[in-house]
Amino acid sequence: MSVRANYANYQGPVRDRVENFHGSQLVYVMWERHLLFCAPLTFLADPAMSFDAFLTEVLTPALAPHPESEKLDFAEAQWRLDGEAFEPRGEASLADNGIGHKSQLRLITPRLSDLADAAI
Amino acid sequence: MNAKTSKRLNMKERYRIMTRDLGWEPSYQRYEDIFPQESFEGIKIVDWDQWEDPFRLTMDNYWKFQAEKERKLYAIFDAVSQNNGQMKISDPRYLNAVKLFITAVTPLEYNAYKGYARVGRQFGGVGARIACQMQSIDELRHTQTQIHAMSHYNKYFGGMHDFPHMFDRVWYLSVPKSFFEDASTAGPFEFLTAISFSFEYVLTNLLFLPFMSGAAYNGDMNTVTFGFSAQSDEARHMTLGLEIIKFILEQHEDNVPIVQQWLDKWLWRGYRLLSIVGMMMDYMLPNKVMSWSEAWTLYYEEAGGALFKELERYGIRPPKYADQTVIGKDHVSHQAWFIFYQYGHATAFNTWVPTAKEMDWLSEKYPDTFDRLYRPRFELLAEKAAKGERFYNNTLPQLCQVCQIPLAITEPDDDTLISHRDTVHDGERYHFCSDGCRDIFHHEPEKYVQAWLPVHQILQGNCGGADMEKVIGDYYRIEMGEDNLDFEGSAEQRRWAAWKQAV
């Protein structure tokens, strides 16, 4: 469908195009069924950054407040990228891993503690 | 006017002369140039004279009624202020509901004033123009009386200063702001369907009754009195909302599918917006009125159910995804409070873990969800806070492109998984909280691609840089340690204790 406007060819500005982020891009991460974080998290990241660096420098500090973060082992985790199963290559960049601007990653971990009962 | 009329006019005649008789047939300008927005939405009006004003209110009487109400209202405001009314409230935590109201709802009244002034200009029918004019003035009055009602508290409590500034900037206030701007930038008939019908008629009881009853249960005389003063206006707006929808549907059968799509959209948008009312009722009122779940059952499922049954004869079905609102009623208030709790460093009010007694009330009201999902979360948070590690989430959340609420609401069929949808439009990826919000985007992508999402704006550097303390303090004007953070240990709590000791 298309907007019904008072004049022809109405098109609002695309406010979040990647050019507006000064060389960085957005990456969202949802730690599935870990609702201590009320929503998936939004990160500003350099697309040339390696996936491993993204995990250690960006994601790990953000997840630190969660009691299960100490037991979290990324080697045991599964990932999904924009709805598809995903096997990241740690040394490759976000861009080379196919993680684009406004991509959503899902982190799926095995049961780590009793907090899982209430999906915390 | 007829010069022979010597006796007093009866009400019907008077109404005719004071409203319909004010219009005229244009002679040297084309109708579509005078009313350029009347047709682009596809709504067909065959005969504006069929418009019925259920109140037959004329402007001269309108001023008289309103002036009388103002006199009574301001007499009570004076009395409250002379009697230190701020000390009569149940608990200082209550004031946080007032802070939410003045920052999130009062600016909507102002937007409604502007909206009705605009659409009133756009209708060819005189009856509709007059009705919009009165409602426009009502909404301006509500803006002013709310500001005056709450200004007394502003002298004693934080978070209420700078409310119009905050409305335009603060992350969670983008939810009500974008809701209303969506309506205001639509055509005049969609505006009326959105605001007069979906919001004023279907959902207003879920906004005003909880706030006004909440005020009554918690000793807030000013807000209660404002509520009473607005009640007859609201009744008029509600009746008008229903008349409008029936009028549009009766004018032409081609209007039915257009209106149906608007009803689907605006019920969903209104439902998402009211999540903040849900959390206010369940978490922010020290003396509770009823639970959000009970309110939704009573005012939406029962009252709304009867209404949509009545509209069936026009070919209208209940709004799409209404079933999801019924599932959601046991979750959204908890999920919403949880958002505010963890981003409580960026709120213009205090947040807290509910007391043990409050948690028991929530268990009783939410037997299927609270103990299983939400109590354990709050107990963990209380434990962390007791160790001096009060949880604040320092990473920004992912937002829905349409409702702009963080993606914190769970799937209708899986309450441990966040509900998330996405789509790619013109090579750009967009994310949503629900099927309802995704549908709204798909219907008018050219409109929603421009959403001003607070999280993305911060990360683009448009809100005063990368330092969150500066964003919160300088850009939002939320004073650190004064307006925000946990109620426990807050400036508000300390002041209240000192005042109570002094009494």
* Sequential DSSP letters for B336-374: HHHHHHHTGGGSSS-B-PPPHHHHHHHHHH-TTTIIIII
Distance CA B427, CA B494 (A): 53
Domain ranges, residue B198: 57-352+391-502
Residues 166-205 of B with CB under 8 A from A: 187
Domains of chain A (ranges; CATH) run 21-118 (3.10.20.560)
Cβ atoms within 10 A of the Cβ of B431, count?
A: 23
Q: Residue B378 falls within a domain, yes or no?
A: no
Dihedral sign, Cα of residue B412, residue B413, residue B415, residue B420: negative
Predicted interface score ipTM higher than 0.85: yes
Task: Assess if residue B419 is contained within a domain.
Answer: yes
CA angle centred on B279, ends B111 and B434, rounded to 5° = 75
CA-based angle B185:B190:B191, to the nearest 5?
Answer: 60
Taking CB atoms and an 8 Å cut-off, how many pairs form between chains A and B?
145
Residue B140 counted as domain residue: yes
In a domain, B384, yes or no: no
Q: Is residue B33 part of a domain?
A: no
Model pTM score: 0.96
- Asked if the Cβ–Cβ distance from A13 to B455 is below 8 Å, we say no
Both tokens of A55, joined, read: 């995990």
Residue B258 belongs to a domain: yes
A7, closest residue in chain B (CA to CA): B40
CATH of the domain at B231: 1.10.620.20
Indicate which of A11, A38, A80 best probes the interface with B, i.e. most B CBs within 10 Å of its own CB. Answer: A38
pLDDT digit of tens for each residue in chain B (503 aa)? 455 555 788 888 888 888 888 888 999 999 999 999 999 999 999 999 999 887 888 888 899 999 999 999 999 999 999 999 999 999 999 999 999 999 999 999 999 999 999 999 999 999 899 999 999 999 999 999 999 999 999 999 999 999 999 999 999 999 999 999 999 999 999 999 999 999 988 888 898 888 899 999 999 999 999 998 998 899 889 888 999 999 999 999 999 999 999 999 999 999 999 999 999 999 999 999 999 999 999 999 999 989 999 999 999 999 999 999 999 999 999 999 999 999 999 999 999 999 999 999 999 999 999 999 999 999 999 999 999 999 999 999 999 999 999 999 999 999 999 999 999 999 999 999 999 999 999 999 999 999 999 999 999 999 999 899 999 999 999 999 999 999 999 999 999 999 999 86
B373 falls within a domain: no
| Domain count along chain B | 1
Among B254, B379, B446, B450, most A C-beta atoms within 10 A, so best to mutate, is B446
The SS3 of residue B18 is: helix
Inside any domain, residue B6: no
